[in-house]
Structures are given as C-alpha cells and as structure tokens.
Chain A
Amino acid sequence: MEQGMSKTRAITGNGAMAEAMRQIHPDVVAAFPITPSTQVIEDFAQFVADGQVETELITVESEHSAMSACLGASAAGGRVMTATSSNGLALMWEMLYIAASMRQPILLTLVNRAISAPINIHCDHGDSMGARDAGWIQLYAENNQEAYDNMLMAPVIAEHMNVRLPVMVCLDGFIISHAIETMQIEDDDKVRAFIGEYTPYYSLLDTEKPPTWGALGLNNYYIEYKKAQQVAMENAHTVIQDVSKQFGELFGRQYDLFESYRLEDAERVIVAINSVAGEIKEVIDELRENGEKVGLLKIRVFRPFPYSEIAQALAQAKIITVLDRSASMGAYGPLFTEIRTALYDMPSRPMVYNRTFGLGGRELFLDDIKAIFRESQEYLQAGKIQTVFDYLCVRGG
C-alpha cells in the first residue's frame, strides 16, 4: 500500500466506525454491547486482540458503567471512545451530562435505534434527540462514508481548547450500521497526522500536581459553569466549519454545518436527518426532471444548531416540510421546533409544517416522499397549511 493512499472498501457502517476507532487509536474504550451498535465494539475488540491497537478495552457491566469508565479515563488524561444505541444511551443519561459539563472530549458512536417500549431494535432518532440537551456535540450522517468522516473529525473538534466537549456521531441503525456500502477508508498515517496527539487537560494521573475533578458548585457558581459550557458549544460552530474545511482539503470530501441539495432555487423543501436523505435526493432528481422546484436541506450538526445559516439557506423556499424521526410526546418534533425557530426572524417566512415518520424502523418509501411533495404543492397552492403536525405511514389515518 502506497503511503497516503486511501482504500476503497465495501464495509458496513459499524465496520467503518470500528475502522475510524482503530485509526484514532484511543487510550481507553469502555463499552457494553447493544444492538445495532454491537459490531462496532466487536470489530474493535478484534483489533485489540490482534494487537493492532494498544487501547485498554474495558468490558463493563452496563452502559452507565461504560460512560462512567469513559469519564474517569478521560479525567485521567486519556483519549476515550465508546459506542451504544437506544436504551444503552438512555442508561448513560446521568453520565452524558456529567461528561459534557466536566468538558471531557469523549467520542461516542451512536447507532440510532428506537427506545422501548414496545421493544424495538430498528431505527429512529428518539435516543439521540432525547440527549440533545445533554451538552454533547451531535453530528449526523446519511451513509457509511459520512459517519466515518464525521468520526475522523470528531476528536479534532472535541479536543479543540475553545470547545473541549464530547461528540456523538449518529448513524441510522441497520439501514447504515448493517448495510455494506463502498467507501473510502483513508490511510492510517494520514488520518493520525490529521487528528494529532492528544493533550490531556489536568490529568488525574499527574501525581506532581494532582487536580480535583467533579467538585461542588452551588448557587454561587453553577450558572457560571453553564454559561461557559454554552459559549463552548457556540465556539464549536466555527471549529466544526474549520475542521471540516481542513478535512476537505486533505481528503477531498466537503462538509459544512448541513448539506444543501438542489436548494438554491427550490420552492418546496424537505428538511431531514440521516439516511432518509438518500431516498429524498432520488425523488428530488426525478421531480426535477419534470420541472418541479424541489430541494433538500440535510442536517449534519444538530448541536450546536446553526440557526442563522439554516434560515439563510431556506430564505428562497416557499414551503418547508420538516421530517422528524423521533417524537417529543405532547410537542412538535425536535427538528421542527428548531427549524421554525430559525425561520422566525426572517422578514418573509416560508410556510412550514411537521411530519413524524419512521418510528421504530417504519419504512418511508419513494412513493411516500413523492406524496409529501404532492401535499406541500397542495398547501402551497391553497396558501394554507391544513395540518401542521401529523404522523406519516401510520395505519388508521
């Protein structure tokens, strides 16, 4: 293999994430297996067993312990990674907040899966959307390549001293995690040069100058720490753009805060997250051949949410359908509330409405997406949104 060459490989999304982990070569991985993310750690455990990495792999007894071990290892000065899905992320809940608030740049592969009940192993975004307030940077990916690329960028973003926050890289369960796609796995040395060495920040293992992590902060200090955390998240905005630009220059694949697909002159737009974007693009191409002005805005960075950039990108649209693959019971979908908020300050706002789809892995076929665009056409012609919020592809109407 020639130095600096990338390999074209047919690999599953999970396999690609394990490759990213091998290349990042963390000091510690603590994980507990859960479908559909299991293969990430299985593959990585093989790398450990084969001596391809020197990572300390901690096989813990629960996800709460997994994130706790990650937190301790990170405070001890290590570069730390893990992977989980669904209820596994839910069991990490307490430690997710603590990891972010203690500003530990832990990296997590989240293979999106519905949260019980009923017990369901298939994709929706209820797990990561529920964690959206935990203080983690959230990057989303349409396919294997994007998920892998996001993970290569994740440590550079997380460890930047203006940010220093954990990053969750999200990809769709089974649809991406278990589907084999052809993609580029970059050269190890080139990836490691891009990521760089890890610099610990007040390591617990520094016996010369032992610090304290996780101390008390009551009503005279807590809110100052929260403000600092909020500013770090805002800083991540620019850092993500800078790192994505560097990544593009090195590896040739361009990323921004979101992807605009045939959006410039689009009148009817869908805003969506993750793998469904692939189907939407196909429908857009077909409708465009008939002269229909349709487009897609695909979210990549959900936290921090790029309000002003998105508002600008949607300024030309006349009607927007926001597709949420998760439910906030008793409220609109989490993506919709962000998009509508982003649009509020615009001088002339496009019409905007919300559809929930795909919960627990319910398929959204090409015809369903065509139906979405037909409906938005009807709303546009009528000048009125009949139903602001509804579920798609659900029996019983």
Chain B
Amino acid sequence: MSDKYKLKDWDELELGGVIPESGNAKDYETGTWRTWRPVWKEEACVHCLTCWVLCPEDAYNLKDGQTAKGKERKEIDGINYYHCKGCGLCVKECPVNKKGVKQAIDFIREET
C-alpha cells in the first residue's frame, strides 16, 4: 500500500477537514461500492460516448480511433472498475441496448 492510502494521525490532518488540493476524486475508489457490474461489449459498441458523458464516476476510458471512413474520433476503451460503482446508468441509457437487438453493455451480478 502506498503512503497515499496510509491513515493519518489526528495531528497530521488539515484544520477542519479541508481538502487543500483539487482534482482528487480519482484517489477515491468507488469501485468497492459495486454489487452489479457493467460489461462493455466492444463488438456491439457504436462509440456514441453516451456512457462516457453520463458516467458519474468518469469510469469509461477513451482512446483515439477512426470511423469506418477514416475520420478521427474518440472511442470507448473499456471500464475502469476501480471507479465504476455499478449504478447502471450506462446500461440503461446505451442507445444500442435501447434498440433491443444487441447489448453493447451487459449488467451482471458481481461474484461474491
């Protein structure tokens, strides 16, 4: 475990619980909250990025990619399970899922 995760003593804390630096949500791993797991299916994904936009934990990874016609675009590159808390918003709002023919994001019970 890195020092970052070591619990601080009372006299090492900032006054009044202030968090002095910004952008530290990435240090808080909400993945431990998850009871249901979204599973991204690359073969069915149309890379509309709806899941990436809606994800409250910013758990969808992006990569540079191209359309079939060679136009540059951003593409989904899987899910960061350290931060995915299993809310299921992506599963519900995925336009591929909504059409009901194929599933681009499955939702399965976490193994206990």
Contact = CB atoms under 8 A, between A and B. Distances in A.
Interface of A: 101-104, 164, 201-202, 209-215, 217, 220-221, 224-225, 227-228, 231
A103 B22 contact: no
A210 B22 contact: yes
Given A220-B7, A224-B8, A211 B20 contact: yes
A224 B10 contact: yes
B16 A164 contact: yes
B98 to A, nearest CB: 35
Nearest to B9: A224
A180 B59 CA distance: 66
Given A225-B10, A227-B10, A102 B17 contact: yes
B1 interface: no
A209 B7 contact: no
Nearest to A204: B18
A213 B18 contact: yes
Contacts of A104: 16
B101 interface: no
A201 B21 CA distance: 13
A215 B24 CA distance: 12
B47 to A, nearest CB: 33
Contacts of A210: 22
Nearest to B7: A220
B44 interface: no
Given A202-B20, A215-B17, A225-B13, 11 more contacts: A201-B15, A209-B21, A211-B19, A212-B19, A212-B22, A213-B18, A213-B19, A221-B8, A224-B9, A228-B15, A231-B11
Contacts of A211: 18-22
Contacts of B8: 221, 224
Contact of A103 (B9, B10, B16, B21): B16
Contacts, number: 54
Contacts of A201: 15, 18
Contacts of A212: 18-19, 22
A34 B16 CA distance: 30
Contacts of A231: 10-11
A202 B22 contact: no
B40 to A, nearest CB: 29
Which residue, A164, A220, A225, A228, has most C-beta atoms of chain B within 10 A? A228
B3 to A, nearest CB: 16
Contacts of B17: 101-102, 213-215, 217, 225
B22 A228 contact: no
B55 to A, nearest CB: 21
B11 to A, nearest CB: 7
A224 B15 CA distance: 11
Contacts of B19: 211-213, 215
Contact of A101 (B11, B13, B16): B16
A162 B47 CA distance: 55
Interface string B15-38: 111111110000000000000000
